[in-house]
Structure 1
Amino acid sequence: SPQGHFVPAEPVLRSTAKPLVVESPNQQELLKGLTKMVRQLRKEGCKTVAVLTRTAAAAASTHAELAKALSASVQLITDLAEDYAADISVMPVHLAKGLEFDGVVIADCSADVYQLTEADIKLLYVACTRAMHRLVVLYSETPSPILQSIKPDTYELVKS
């Protein structure tokens, strides 16, 4: 019978660990932490890693820093029409909508980057839901009020 050819779908766990929130004392340490976390996700087996930023300008500067620091290919995505072929992609959050990655790093979730507005809440929701396995959120000095409103037992906090 034709039904004998179908293989039942395997359930896929979308997340294998609690999200990691990394606190940095300043912007310079945040960039070091970002590089370290991207390396860590690749080492953990994440084939595709997206580094998501609030704006296109932040994506460009973050890409420049990562491209210098990492030996792997890092692609800056500036337009939805681009094919992303690199293992590590850097893009503004709004371009990540509808895409999925093994690991996602939210490059800067500081209070001055994401305010408590409906637009920023939606952007962070999109950013957080792009991760299939690992989610890392970085901030320097003061976390976004959106991040502050999340129950601390739902993520792991580390200081860089």
Structure 2
Amino acid sequence: MRKLGDVLKSGVKIVTMHGAKGLEFDVVIVTELNKRFPMMWGVVEGEEENRVETDRRLLYVSMTRARGRLYIVYDGEPSRYIEELDKALYEYIEM
């Protein structure tokens, strides 16, 4: 059976937000934080705010996995969560 990788060995790792729980990395890149995040499809009517809060916590966990640098990447319109961040804590770079 082929072993897919070990998150404790050095190198580039690609993990889901859920998979990053409990781990730390020197650099974390959160991608596709577009307006579509949080994705509301499949959410039962009346549960939208619960989904937003759950996704906000998941993003927080992902962001706090970075020991050194955190990069948040989006294309087009940013997620509502980016707007919630304290602008004094990050540098915006347009590409």
Sort the TM-score into its range (normalised by shorter chain): 0.7 to 0.9
Query: Identity over the aligned pairs, expressed in percent?
Result: 32
Whichever structure has more strand as a proportion of its residues is: 1
Cα offset for 1:151?
A: 2.2
Cα offset for 1:86?
A: 4.9
- Render the CA deviation track for 1:86-142: whole Å, top value 9, x for unaligned: 510011110100000000000111110236701110111011100000000001111
d(CA) in 2 for partners of 1:146, 1:113: 8
- Render the CA deviation track for 1:21-41: whole Å, top value 9, x for unaligned: xxxxxxxxxxxxxxxxxxxxx
d(CA) in 2 for partners of 1:133, 1:148: 22
Larger Rg: 1
Q: Please, what TM-score do these two structures have when normalized by structure 1?
A: 0.46
Residue 131 of structure 1 is matched in structure 2 by 66
Higher relative contact order, structure no. (Cα contacts within 8 Å, ≥ 6 residues apart): 2
d(CA) in 1 for partners of 2:86, 2:23: 26
Runs (5+) with no aligned partner, structure 1: 1-76
- Render the CA deviation track for 1:30-54: whole Å, top value 9, x for unaligned: xxxxxxxxxxxxxxxxxxxxxxxxx
d(CA) in 2 for partners of 1:114, 1:108: 11
Q: Please, what TM-score do these two structures have when normalized by structure 2?
A: 0.75
Residue 93 of structure 1 is matched in structure 2 by 17
- Is 1:151 paired with 2:52? no
CA RMSD of aligned residues (A): 1.8
Residue 83 of structure 1 is matched in structure 2 by 6
Residue 28 of structure 2 is matched in structure 1 by 104
Runs (5+) with no aligned partner, structure 2: 40-48
Spell out structure 1 runs of 4+ moving beyond 2 A.
Answer: 82-86, 113-116
